[in-house]
């Protein structure tokens, strides 16, 4: 129950931030979640790289890679050195009188902690998901702590007994509330292009590389809800989700998709498992 806050390791109930912290007051911060399999970092460089890219996009002057040893220390201090876990990292612009513009000379607030996660058994999941309108802003490429639209969407799904949402913007699937979406059609894999409408998932990018290794063609092209009839398989990816197939899709009250096949999802899950559990 220890967290790292601005250079110090503290009990979580003793770690305090100012009420004028901009992540608290305005959602003016960037976060990252990076996984550890049996205590071993997986794609840590890619996660730190995305953190750096997002910080640069909102002009927060901070070296994300300086946190690399601290991320590893969080795992060992939490006694998770040989377990499955993740590290949450949050970089806030800092504490300043409330303004909409970026204040000058603020010191970033850095929060980081490790927590255990269940990464085993993802291959046994099969999710029922709900289509929701993508009500987020136009910079979904920025991993901002301002997650209200994602939270509202996911609450609707979970309270109705669904596992996740598939968000649609102008009828096109963008991503899940906290996952990336892949569609399989004619043996080819489709996923939304990495533009401002989605977060460029680290797992997404890894899965695209795995497809290349397995000679599975990938097209970065958005899929429309009306195209669901032609889709054979759908799977979701994410740091803690890993690779999970979609069983059914519901839109409003109506079932609009039921999985027909699972071959490509299973092939990808198998290599993903081998890579993440490699000794």
Stretch that binds ligand PLP, among 59-67, 157-165, 221-229, 233-241 (CB under 6 A): 233-241
Stretch that binds ligand PLP, among 70-78, 151-159, 222-230, 231-239 (CB under 6 A): 231-239
Residue 135 φ/ψ, nearest 5 degrees:
-95, 15
Known catalytic residue: 260? no
**Residue 180 contacts ligand PLP per CB under 6 A:** yes
Q: Could you give the CA distance from residue 190 to residue 181 in angstroms, rounded to a whole number?
A: 9
**Residue 44 contacts ligand PLP per CB under 6 A:** no
Is the distance from CB of 144 to CB of 51 less than 8 angstroms?
no
To ligand PLP, the closest distance from the beta carbon of 109 in angstroms equals 21
To ligand PLP, the closest distance from the beta carbon of 241 in angstroms equals 7
Task: Locate 223 and state its tokens.
Answer: 């899929």
Q: Which single residue is written with the structure tokens 């503290």?
A: 10
**Residue 175 contacts ligand PLP per CB under 6 A:** yes
**Residue 94 contacts ligand PLP per CB under 6 A:** no
Query: Which candidate in 8, 83, 105, 143 is catalytic?
Result: 143
User: In the complex with ligand PLP, which residue's Cβ is closer, 180 or 276?
Assistant: 180
**Residue 84 contacts ligand PLP per CB under 6 A:** no
Q: Could you give the CA distance from residue 35 to residue 108 in angstroms, rounded to a whole number?
A: 24
- 253-272 residues in contact with ligand PLP (CB under 6 A) are none
**Residue 174 contacts ligand PLP per CB under 6 A:** no
**Residue 203 contacts ligand PLP per CB under 6 A:** yes
| 252-to-53, 95, 130 alpha-carbon distances in Å | 36, 42, 8
CA angle 196, 236, 134 (to 5 degrees): 40
| 241-to-5, 121, 171 alpha-carbon distances in Å | 27, 10, 25
To ligand PLP, the closest distance from the beta carbon of 264 in angstroms equals 18
User: In the complex with ligand PLP, which residue's Cβ is closer, 94 or 201?
Assistant: 201
Is the distance from CB of 105 to CB of 95 less than 8 angstroms?
no
- Answer for which of 239, 250, 269, 276 binds ligand PLP (CB under 6 A) is 239
- CA-closest candidate to residue 41, choices 66, 68, 63, 62: 68
**Residue 169 contacts ligand PLP per CB under 6 A:** no
Is the distance from CB of 252 to CB of 215 less than 8 angstroms?
no
To ligand PLP, the closest distance from the beta carbon of 242 in angstroms equals 9
Is the distance from CB of 194 to CB of 208 less than 8 angstroms?
no
- Answer for which of 199, 211, 223, 246 binds ligand PLP (CB under 6 A) is 199
**Residue 202 contacts ligand PLP per CB under 6 A:** yes
**Residue 201 contacts ligand PLP per CB under 6 A:** yes
Which residues, including other chains, have CB under 8 Å from residue 158's CB and lie 6 or more apart? none
Q: 164-175 as b/e, with b when 16 or more CB fall inside 10 Å?
A: bbbbbbeebbbb
Which residues of this protein are in contact with ligand PLP, per CB under 6 A?
Answer: 175, 178-180, 199, 201-204, 237-239
Query: What positions carry a catalytic annotation?
Result: 143
């Amino acid at each position: 129950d220890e967290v790292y806050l601005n250079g110090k390791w503290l009990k979580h109930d003793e770690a305090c931030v100012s009420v004028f912290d901009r992540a608290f007051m305005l959602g003016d911060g960037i976060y990252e979640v990076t996984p550890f399999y049996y205590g071993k970092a997986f794609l840590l460089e890619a996660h730190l790289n995305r953190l750096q890219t997002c910080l640069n996009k909102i002009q927060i002057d901070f070296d994300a890679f300086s946190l690399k040893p601290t991320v590893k220390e969080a795992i060992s201090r939490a006694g998770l050195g040989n377990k499955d876990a993740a590290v949450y990292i949050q970089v806030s612009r800092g504490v300043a009188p409330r303004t909409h513009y970026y204040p000058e000379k603020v010191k970033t607030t850095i929060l980081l902690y490790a927590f255990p996660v269940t990464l085993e058994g993802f291959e046994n999941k099969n999710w029922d998901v709900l289509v929701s309108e993508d009500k987020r802003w136009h910079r979904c490429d920025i991993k901002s702590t301002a997650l209200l639209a994602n939270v509202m969407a996911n609450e609707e799904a979970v309270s109705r007994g669904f596992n996740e949402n598939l968000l649609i913007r102008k009828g096109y699937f963008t991503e899940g509330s906290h996952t990336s979406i892949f569609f399989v059609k004619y043996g080819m894999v489709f996923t939304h292009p990495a533009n401002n409408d989605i977060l460029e998932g680290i797992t997404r990018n890894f899965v695209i590389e795995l497809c290349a290794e397995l000679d599975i063609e990938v097209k970065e092209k958005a899929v429309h809800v009306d195209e669901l009839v032609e889709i054979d398989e759908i799977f979701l990816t994410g740091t803690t989700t890993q690779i999970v197939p979609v069983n059914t899709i519901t839109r409003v009250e109506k079932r609009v998709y039921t999985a027909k096949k699972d071959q490509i999802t299973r092939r990808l899950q198998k290599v993903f498992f081998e890579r993440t559990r490699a000794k």
